[in-house]
Amino acid sequence: MTATMPTPDVRPANPRFSSGPCAKRPGWTPEALDVSVLGRSHRSKPGKSRLAEAIDLTREVLQVPDNYLIGIVPASDTGAVEMAMWSLLGPRGVDMVAWESFGTGWVTDAVKQLKLNDVRCIEADYGKLPDLGQIDFDRDVVFTWNGTTSGVCVPNGDFIPGDRDGLTICDATSAAFAQRLDFGKLDVTTFSWQKVLGGEGGHGVLILSPRAVERLESHTPAWPLPKIFRLTKGGKLIEGIFKGETINTPSMLCVEDYIDALNWAKNAGGLDGLTTRADANFKTIQSHVDASSWLENLAVDPATRSNTSVCLKIVDPAITALSGDEQAAFAKGMVALLDKQDVAYDIGAYRDAPPGLRIWAGATVETADLEALMPWLDWAFESERASLRAAA
C-alpha cells in the first residue's frame, strides 16, 4: 500500500490514547511510588494509613462534601456500580437511563439479574442523550454521567431536583476528575482511578450521600448479597470500609499509584487544573474535526460532547456508502496504521459502538501530543482510502 500523502513531521511523544486504562500522569515512573508498604498487610497500621490517605486525597481533589462517605471497593467501577445496585435498589420503582453500552449493561442487570418489577428504561441511540425530562425522581434513577463508549455526557446536574424522593446512582467513571460532578444531586457516585487519573485497573471508588446511607440501613435486599457487595452488618453500615478497611485485599501497589496520581493532580491545580487540561485537549481534537471534511463528533449536540472519551465517526460519502462491516474494517485499518507508526495506540471505537475512532483526552494526556496526532488522522484516512480504491 502506498500512502497518498507524506507522513507528518511530528509524532506524539506519548502515543497512549486508550480510553482505559488511560495514560499515566506526565513524568510518571515506577520509581515515583512509595513501596514501603508492599509485602505488608493492608490491615496493618501502615497499610490502613495509606488507604485512608487515598480516601482523604480523593475527597480533597474531587471536592466531595464532608458528610459524604468514600470507600475503595473491588472490581473497578463495574464492581462499585453493581454493589450500589444490588444493595440499594428494590424499595421503589427505578428509572434506568442509558445511551451507550455501559448504561445498557446496567439496564440488563436491573431487568434480567435483579429482576426488579418496576423498571422504566429511558434510552437513546449512540450520539444522543435521552430526554432527561422523562425521568421521574420520585423513583430511584441509575445513569452514567459520561458515556465512555459514545462520547456523550450530561452537561451538568441541573436536570436533577434537589428535593427528590428517590436515590440517584451515577456511574461517573470517565467524568470524575475531568468534569464537575454536582454531588448535591448525586446519592451514589462511582468511578475507577484507571480513567482520568491513569491509575492501574481493578479497584473502584464508591461515594455515598447521607440519603444513600439511610437507605442502606433501612432496606434489606430481597436477594442474597455476595460478600464483596455487603456494606452493612446487622442493619448498620460497616463504617470501616469508608476509613480504609477494604472488603477484600487491595493491591497496595495500585493504591500507591493512585496516591501518586492524586498528588500530581493537586500540583496540577486540583479539580480546576484537571478540568482545564481536559477541556484544552478536547478543544484540540474538536477544532481539527470542525475543519475536517471526513470526520465528525459522534455526539450530535455540542453541549453533550465529552472532554475525555472523544468518539468520532467517519462521514466521507465513499465510506458511508459501504456496508456496516466494511465501514468497521476501514476504521480498524486506520487504527492499525496509526498503531504500526507508533503514533496512537488503542483508539478504535468500542466494540458495540458505531465504527470510528475514540481518542482519550483526559487530564493525563498532554495537549501537545494531541496536536501532533491530528495530522496523522488525515494521513491514516487518506492511506486507507487509497488502499480501498486500489482494491476496487
Tell me the pLDDT tens digit for each residue of 9-51: 999 999 999 999 999 999 999 999 999 999 999 999 999 999 9
Looking at residue 118, its pLDDT comes to 98
Angle of helix 270-290 relative to helix 367-391, nearest 10 degrees? 30
pLDDT of the residue at 307? 98
Domains of the chain: 37-266 (3.40.640.10), 269-391 (3.90.1150.10)
The whole-angstrom separation of Cα 33 and Cα 259 is: 9
pLDDT on residue 2: 47
Q: Are strands 146-147 and 168-171 parallel, antiparallel or unpaired?
A: unpaired
- Collapsing DSSP states into helix, strand and coil, what is residue 5? coil
β-sheet bridge partners, residue 358: 311
Provide the Cα torsion 203, 209, 215, 218; round to 10°.
100
Model pLDDT, residue 1:
43
**Structure confidence at residue 376 (pLDDT):** 98
Q: How far apart are CA 310 and CA 365, in angstroms?
A: 13
Q: How many CB atoms lie within 10 A of CB 45?
A: 8
C-alpha cell at 222: 430481597
Check if the beta carbon of residue 289 is closer than 8 Å to that of residue 134: no
What phi and psi values does residue 153 have, to the nearest 5 degrees? -130, 160
Given this model, what pLDDT does residue 55 score? 98
Q: Which segments of the chain have a pLDDT < 70?
A: 1-4
Give me the pLDDT at residue 392, please: 81
Q: Which pTM value belongs to this model? A: 0.97
CA distance 139 to 142: 10
